[in-house]
Structure formats: C-alpha cells, structure tokens
Amino acid sequence: MSRSASIKDVANHARVAVGTVSNVLNYPDRVSQRTKDRVLQAIDELGFVRNDAARQLRAGHSRTIGLIVLDVGNPFFTSVVRAAEDAAALQGSAVLLGDSGHDAGRESNYIDLFQEQRVQGLLISPVGDVTERLDQLRERGVPTVLVDRLADEAKYSSVSVDDDAGGYLAARHLLDTGRRRLAFVGGPTSIRQVEDRLQGAQRAVAEVPDASLEILDSAGQTVLAGRGVGDQLVRRAAGELPDGVFCANDLLALGVMQSLTMLHTLRIPEDIALIGYDDIDFAVSAVVPLSSIRQPTEALGRTAIELLAEELDSDKPRHRAVIFTPELVVRQSTAGPEGSSAETRSGSSEEAAATAG
Amino acid sequence: MSRSASIKDVANHARVAVGTVSNVLNYPDRVSQRTKDRVLQAIDELGFVRNDAARQLRAGHSRTIGLIVLDVGNPFFTSVVRAAEDAAALQGSAVLLGDSGHDAGRESNYIDLFQEQRVQGLLISPVGDVTERLDQLRERGVPTVLVDRLADEAKYSSVSVDDDAGGYLAARHLLDTGRRRLAFVGGPTSIRQVEDRLQGAQRAVAEVPDASLEILDSAGQTVLAGRGVGDQLVRRAAGELPDGVFCANDLLALGVMQSLTMLHTLRIPEDIALIGYDDIDFAVSAVVPLSSIRQPTEALGRTAIELLAEELDSDKPRHRAVIFTPELVVRQSTAGPEGSSAETRSGSSEEAAATAG
DNA sequence: CCGATTCTTTGAATCGTTTCATTGTTACGA
DNA sequence: TCGTAACAATGAAACGATTCAAAGAATCGG
C-alpha cells in the first residue's frame, strides 16, 4: 500500500541476489531461464516498478532531454515537439517539455529545473540572452541544440528554417503565375523572420525585369491587422492595386482575404492572388483555400534530437547548423488564369541543406 | 568540465561537513551567518547544482506532477496546462507534460514513465480505459485527478465542465434575443460533449412555448463540415430557415458563417444569429465576430492541482468532483435587433459548483 | 567560575539501483 | 577422473542528498 517494492524486495521474494534482479532487467542474456522466470514472476507479483531516481543517481545522468519552446499553443512548436518526442522515444529517451511563453523568467526556471534533473541535453528556442547559461551547461557536458534559431557553429548546433528562401518561394510563385505588381504585408521588420521573408521576396522580384514589390506595413501579425491592410486596399483605385499579395504569415493573409471577399468588389485569385506563410490548419479551410509556405516542422524536431545525439556520442565538440528549406503549398488563392484546382506541393522535399562546422 | 560538483565537493571547498551544506540549502536558519557565507561562496565558485535524483531517492518521491492531455495543440488543453503549471509552481512542484495524442499506447507509455519517475500525483485526460492502472497507482499512494471528465467520486477526484449548462446558455441566449426557430449543428451525438450540449439546448427550448429546435447533423467537427451544413441552409426557401443557429464548436460555426456570408443573401446576425462553442482565438476575428461559449480552462487546470494537493495532504481517500459552468461571450454574430456592439460576458464567474464525495 | 541552556556543527546511516570482482556451478575434452 | 573453460549468481561498494543523534561551542544567570 504505502511504500512500493524495491529491487531488494524482489530479490528476497525470488530468493536470489539483488545483482541478479538487476541483470534480469538490464542484461537478460546473462541470466539462466529458470532464474529469469522466478524473478519475472516476483516482479509481477509485487508490482515492482524501477525507481528512476536511483537508477540515474548511479548512472550520473538521466535518460531525459529538456525541450523549451516559446509557446506550446503555436502549431509550429506543437508539431516540432511531437516530432522530437517521437525521435527521442526511438533512442530510448523521454522529453521533458517546458513552455517559456516568451518569458525569460520562465525560461530560466526551466533551465534550472532541467539542470537539477540532470537532463542529457537541451533543445531550446530561446527568449532572452541565455548564451551564458548554455555555455555553462556545455562545460558540464550538457550539450544544447538551438531550435528555430541559427547559431554560431563554433559554439552550438542548431536547426532552423531559411526564411529568405521561403520569401523567395512565395514571391517567385506569384511571378510564375503571371503576377507583376506584388505587395508584401508584414509587421515590423525588426522581427527577423519578417525581415528575412521580405528580403527573399525582394530577391525574387529583382529577377524579373518588369516586376515591382510594394511594402505594406501591418500593425502586428494578427487577423485584425491583416484586415486593416485589406481595408486600405479595397479603397484604392483599380489601377493602383497589386495583383499579387504575399503576407508574412497566414493570419495576416486571412485578414486580408476577409476584407477583399467581404465587399465582393475584388475576387481572389482572379483580381488579386494571395499567399501566406506557415500553412496553419485554417489555411485549407478558408473561404478561398489559401496558398502558403509550409515549414518542415517534423524534420526540425527530429533533426534537433539527432544533432543532440551526435554531440552526446562523440565527445569532440563538433557542431552543425542545419538549415531547412520550406516548401510551397499551392491552393486556390493563387490559382493561375487557367485555374487548375488541385492542391500542389513543391519546393524542398524536407532535405536538409546541412553545413559542417 | 566533466563531472559536476557534489555537495561533498562543496563541503571540502568550504571546510565544513556535508550536513552543514545541506542545512544551508534546506534550513538556512540553523546555520550561522559566517558559515553560511563560506558555503554559499563555495557553491558559487564550484557552480554547484543540486542533484535532484539523489534528493528524491532519499525523499522517496519527486517534486513533480504528471499531466497527460489528449492534445497539446488544442487551445483548450494548452490553457489548462499553463494554468496547472502555474498553480503547481506556487506549491513548489513542477509539471511533467505528456501528450497522448488520443493514442492509448502513448498514454500508457507516459503512465509508465511517470511511475518510474515516482511523480507525486497524476492529472489525466484519459483516452483508453486506464482505470486499472489508476487503481494500481492509487494503491501505491499516487493519487490521480481526472481532467475534463466526470469521475465516480467514490474513486477519483475530477474537474470537468458542464456541457449541458453550456448548451443551455447558448440556446437561452438566442431565445433571449428574440429568435424562435433554432437549429443545432453538431457531429455524431455519440460524442458525449456534443450530446450534452444538444441536451442543454433542448432544455432551453422546451422552456419557451413557441420555440423549436431543428437538428442538423454535421459530418465531423471541422470548418469544412460546417460549410457543408451552411451550403444546405442557403439553398432553402426563406420560410424554412432557422433564425438562430447553435454550433457544437467554433470551427463548425466558422464554416457555417463562411457559407452564409459568401453568397451575401443572408446576413449575420440580422437574418440568422450564430453562436459557437469553445471561444477559440479565431472567434473574435471572424468576418462577423462570433459569439461563443467559453470554458473556464484556467480554473480547470488550477483546480486540478488543488484537488491533487488535497489528496496528498490528507491520507483519507476523500474525493471531489468539481464541475464548472461555462460562460457566454456575446459578440456581433448574435447581436439583437437593437444591435449593441460591445463584447459582453455573462454566466458563470468561474465559481465551482462543487460536491463532496 | 560553574552548570545549565541554547545554538552550531558533525558525520554515519539511508534511499534503490548498477557495477564488477569474486565465488560457485556445470560441462567437456583429454 | 582431472583440469579448464564457460556460464551463473553473489553481494559489497558507489552514486549524492538528507536526516538525526550526538558532540562541541557559545551564552547566561547566579
């Protein structure tokens, strides 16, 4: 009832030594069948469950990996988390999940907690400046992999997504389907992601002689901010309108779509093609299914675990920064004049453009 | 570099006994200022961090609480998780989060893991039939609180939300704003939540003599399923239309809204009032801001931790089932003829309708 | 200055598992 | 039958923190 059975209880019950019970659990081959049966039966009868604390005290480290994300509610991270958990499970580790909620204090608390738990390694999508903490951890033999952030390869491994390439992909797609007067809708360019996506788009536009790119600053990254931009667009004279709009994320794109379709003066995609970024669940079920740029979240999570495993295996401090290329998901909102309606994906096939450090 | 400092290293470095270091950490009042200073300095110089495994081996239990949810990506659970983490932090515990993803296998793995970790207690939103496992845990002194599921008070504490009351609240609101020909849109009534919400709505309708409630079966709980139902509605003759529609969740409601607003033949809320359930983030930024029923997720998470604490404190097996009442959030999609536009909340003030077991 | 009291500090024992040198057992070829 | 492998089982030591009885130091009143 109260105290749960220990390996010693099992040993007594099966009339063997504690070492033998341990061998049954960890090296079954070393134990004869007869003994093994007796021990297993005792385990079953007593309902013995290994005490992980004792185990990891002896081992010197746990079999868990810490993962700190900015926001578990964000589908991007949710997907990364799930992939990381699955990949970790394959190699016999469990993931301890922490949600910093963009709060440096919570982030720091989780690092403390994980350090006390002696996690094998840490995956983190940092909020504040944690380089000092991470350096300290590395010195103690706890490697870190940065997630969704490009790191200095001299110091850390990292997995990230090439936002410039994503921006290029989006703009290029609008150009490929015949649009020339493009517009970029995005929040403050102080956000790195927004900046990079814009830069990629500009790169694509520069490749086509008669193409132009207008920048429409949005007050944030929400549906409402998008609607604000959309409302401005519908008030313009026909000649002043863009014919292709690229939004820095899907929420903005959905807001723009709401404005344009609400008044029914402009049609998507005939008058204006629209493409977003992130490929959230809502994109496919928008009034006009939204084209978007999908980030390889599963690959991010999986690769982060793999990079961590690499660092754990070899004791040489060899770091790698793996950069993924996002992929284009074509739906109705950017259908060409001929209007093929099937959903299409193209672009990266989740292959890593890896570089060695 | 390699091995991290232990309490013994600290003791040597500060020239005191290990017990003294432990006292500095756990009972600072017992130690003189001089000694304390020396020890703290040693801790700082060596970068000592407590080894939680050793601590909990000695203590016999950890300072963590296991939490297994059906889907971390679901905003409902995300919010519950965050509240539970905060409440646990207040009492000095940490939450280990597991995402079963509606998979009984993953759920079982997490129970195993948490049992090996010797968690203090378990909060679970179960997928499969885990009563046997939970009984076993209870016998070993690991209490469980069921989350978002009403439990037999003889065996477990639980926190849940009264879906019948939510359904009543939604329908009642439509009736209160003058609608009489109501329709309920929902997936298979085999889902308990859907069933209960419908029942609550029927109860409300039965209270008003000339009111009626039509049931529109949807093929699922998605935006697309909602659009399917909406498409059927717009094809009806004007006289056959409901004037108030209650959807079993917000996704369905958004789908219905898309259909109705797309063709611009029916206006929301003038021709048809629309209300959803869950109050997801998108509700407020829909083309017509969507009225909805909000579940007190924070209270769920917080209360679950509190009930667990109760069970841990007293060793008498006294269980409680706490049932929360959801609240109505009024937005434009159900605005009355006079059309007050402000967002209003009413209904439960997050107070628990508790019953003792 | 002494004995009593309170305040500090000590260090061995303990938690449950794994490891590993040692001992005990069995089997087999010569 | 003996010597030697190969195989099984043993149990003490170690991991690092906490606890607690006991020893030691400081303080105080008389």
- The 10s digit of each residue's pLDDT in A167-216 is 999 999 999 999 999 999 998 888 889 999 999 999 999 999 999 999 99
Q: Are residues A216 and A147 in the same domain?
A: no
B23 touches strand C (CB under 7 A): yes
Residue A84 confidence (pLDDT) above 80 = yes
**CATH number of A121's domain:** 3.40.50.2300
pLDDT band at A337 (very low <50, low <70, confident <90, very high): low
- Mean pLDDT computed over B74-82: 91
Do A71 and A152 have their domain in common?
yes
Subset of residues 94-113 in chain B with CB less than 7 angstroms from any atom in strand D: none
Q: Which of A91-100, A327-336, B329-338 has the lowest mean pLDDT?
A: B329-338
**What pLDDT shows up at residue B348?**
44
Q: What percent of chain B has pLDDT over 90?
A: 76
Residue A92 tokens read as 């016999």
Q: Is A237 within the bounds of a domain?
A: yes
The H or E element spanning position B211 is none
Q: Are residues A88 and A120 in the same domain?
A: yes
Distance from CA of A62 to the nearest CA of B (A): 9
* Model confidence band, residue A266 (pLDDT cutoffs 50, 70, 90): confident
Question: Are A151 and A239 in the same domain?
Answer: no
Mean pLDDT of chain A: 90
Model confidence over B282-293: pLDDT tens digits? 899 898 999 999
Is residue A52 predicted with pLDDT exceeding 90? yes
Please report whether residue B310 resides in a domain: yes
Contact yes or no for A72 and B78 at CB 8 A: yes
d(CA A111, CA A95): 14
* Cα–Cα distance, A115 to B322 (Å, whole number): 36
Report the alpha-carbon distance of residue B45 to residue A205 in Å, rounded.
56
Give domain status of residue B2, yes or no. Answer: no
Q: Mean pLDDT of all residues in chain B? A: 90
pLDDT at A297: 96
E strands present in chain B: 64-69, 94-99, 121-124, 144-147, 157-161, 181-186, 212-217, 244-247, 273-275, 292-294, 320-324, 327-330, 344-347, 352-356
CB B277 within 8 A of CB B292: yes
List chain A residues with CB under 8 Å of B56: 53
Report how far residue A26's alpha carbon sits from residue A3's, in angstroms, rounded to the nearest whole number: 23
Token digits for A295? 């980030």
A25 lies in the same domain as A138: no
Residues B182 and B214 in one domain: yes
Q: Are residues A339 and A319 in the same domain?
A: no
Cβ contact A124:A146 at 8 Å: yes
How confident is the model over B197-213, as a mean pLDDT?
A: 97
Q: Which residue has the higher pLDDT, A315 or A286?
A: A286
**Structural domain contains residue A313:** yes
- Out of A51, A112, A140, name the one closest to residue B4 (CB): A140
Is residue A136 within 8 A of residue B47, CB to CB? The reply is yes
Contact A285 B75 (CB under 8 A): no
The answer on pLDDT for B349 being more than 70 is no
Q: Are residues B208 and B347 in the same domain?
A: yes
Structural domain of B243: 163-295+328-356
Question: What was the pLDDT predicted at B139?
Answer: 87
pLDDT for position B2:
55
| Assigned domain for A55 exists | no
pLDDT (average), residues A34-47: 95
Q: What is the mean pLDDT of residues B25-43?
A: 95
Co-location of A227 and A340 in the same domain: yes
pLDDT at residue B305, rounded to an integer: 97
Question: φ, ψ for residue B168 (rounded to 5)?
Answer: -60, -45
Q: At a CB cut-off of 8 Å and minimum separation 6, what does B121 contact? A: B65, B66, B142, B143, B144, B145, B308, B311, B312
CA B357, CA B352: separation in Å to the nearest integer? Answer: 15
What's the start-to-end Cα distance of chain A, in Å? 55
What would the two tokens of residue A296 be?
């390889």
Confidence class for position A349, pLDDT limits 50, 70, 90? very low
Residue in the structure block whose two tokens are 């081992």: A59
In this predicted structure, the answer to whether residue B3 has a pLDDT above a threshold of 50 is: yes
Residues of B in contact with A95 (CB under 8 A): none
Q: How confident is the model at residue B320 (pLDDT cuts 50, 70, 90)?
A: very high
Question: Can you tell me whether residue A1 is helix, strand or coil?
Answer: coil
CA-to-CA separations, A103 to A119, A128, A131, B72, B84, in angstroms, rounded = 21, 8, 16, 19, 17
Shared domain for B267 and B351, answered yes or no, is: yes
Averaged pLDDT, B18-41: 96
Half-sphere exposure (CA, 13 Å, Cβ side) for A92? 2
Confidence of residue A306 (pLDDT cuts 50, 70, 90): very high
User: Which tokens hold the place of B288?
Assistant: 């017509």
Number of independent structural domains in chain A = 3
Strand C, nucleotides < 7 Å from a protein CB: these are 7-21
pLDDT-wise least confident of A237-246, B5-14, B263-272: B263-272
What pLDDT does B4 receive? 86
Rounded to 10 degrees, the C-alpha dihedral B98/B101/B105/B106 comes to -20
Give the minimum alpha-carbon distance from B142 to chain A in angstroms, rounded to a whole number: 9
Cβ contact B179:B269 at 8 Å = no
At residue A121, the pLDDT reads 95
B39-68 pLDDT, tens digit per residue, is 999 999 999 999 999 999 999 889 999 999
Whether residue A42 lies inside any domain: the answer is yes
Task: Name the closest nucleotide to A118, judged by C1' and CA.
Answer: D16
Residues A118, B53: C-beta atoms closer than 8 Å? yes
Q: How far apart are CA A127 and CA A108, in angstroms?
A: 10
Residues A141, B62: C-beta atoms closer than 8 Å: no
The verdict on A214 and A337 lying in the same domain is yes
Percent above pLDDT 70 for chain B: 92
Residues B339 and B209 in one domain: yes
Between A61-75, B190-204, B310-324, the lowest mean confidence (pLDDT) is in B310-324
- 3-class SS shares of chain A: helix, strand, coil, % to 5: 45, 20, 35
CB–CB of A49 and B261 under 8 A?
no
pLDDT score for B346: 55
Name the helix (H) or strand (E) containing A297.
helix A297-313
Give the residue from B189, B184, B164 showing the smallest Cα distance to B174: B184
Record the tokens describing residue B22, joined without a space.
């432990």
Dihedral sign (CA A216, A222, A228, A234): positive
**For residues A123 and A145, what is the distance between their CA atoms, to the nearest angstrom?**
5
pLDDT of residue B336: 74
Q: Does B35 map to a domain?
A: yes
Q: Which nucleotides of D are covered by protein (CB under 7 A)?
A: 7-21
Lookup: tokens for B19 = 């017990």
Q: Which residue is listed with tokens 């926190």?
A: B159
pLDDT at position A9, please? Answer: 96
Domain membership of residue B55 (yes or no) is no
Cis bond before residue A269 (omega within 30° of 0): yes
